[in-house]
Amino acid sequence: MNVDLRPFTHADADWLVAAHADLYAAEAGFDAGFGALVGEVVAAFLRDHDPACERGWIAWQSDARLGSIFCVRAAPEVARLRLFLLMPEARGQGVGRRMLETCMGFTRDRGYARLILDTHESHRAACALYRRAGFTCLSSRPVRSFGQNLVQQRFEIAL
């Protein structure tokens, strides 16, 4: 699949929030709280991010957005992967792997020692991708979030 990874811009914000809210509602039954949380994360990134050590990418094919991935600073030597989304039409074609590799390369290039992320066990394809990339699941705990009973997981990789 011929996909370009372009830097996230203000023009992508509305799409990013709506795509997350709509896809997670349809696929996981998440309530409106999820879209609100994504909106807060995007607004904070637009307002506060440091371009020297934080970045977001949008996957594009022609004039269509297909996904997103972000690297934000969690601590001086720790980066956090956020807002990883891949639209259904782009799944299973290596796009997610490429997005993850791009994010991991950026974290290494910026001198981070570790990359962490939080996800839910129900995102089986994403969890498998993380494990294939060398991430380890550090914790797993039941939570009630976004109107659903979920198992929240924290993954980490040493860079």
Report pLDDT digits (tens) over 112-128: 999 999 999 999 999 99
- CB–CB of 27/42 below 8 Å? no
- CB–CB of 141/151 below 8 Å? yes
Q: Which amino acid is at 6?
A: R
Average pLDDT, the chain: 96
b/e string for 83-105 if b means 16 or more Cβ within 10 A?
Answer: bbbbbeebeeeebbebbbebbbe
- CB–CB of 24/146 below 8 Å? yes
- Tell me how crowded residue 59 is: count the other CB atoms within 10 A of its CB: 24
Per-residue confidence (pLDDT) for residue 159, from 0 to 100: 94
Single out the residue of 133, 134, 140 nearest to residue 154, CA to CA.
Answer: 140
Q: Which fold has domain 4-158?
A: Aminopeptidase (3.40.630)
> What is the average pLDDT across 12-40?
97
0.85 exceeded by the pTM?
yes
> What is the average pLDDT across 58-81?
97
pLDDT at 1 over 90: no
pLDDT interval class at 11 (50, 70, 90): very high
In what side-by-side order are the strands of the sheet with 148-158?
Answer: 4-7, 55-61, 64-75, 78-86, 114-120, 148-158, 136-145
pLDDT interval class at 83 (50, 70, 90): very high
Report pLDDT digits (tens) over 90-111: 999 999 999 999 999 999 999 9
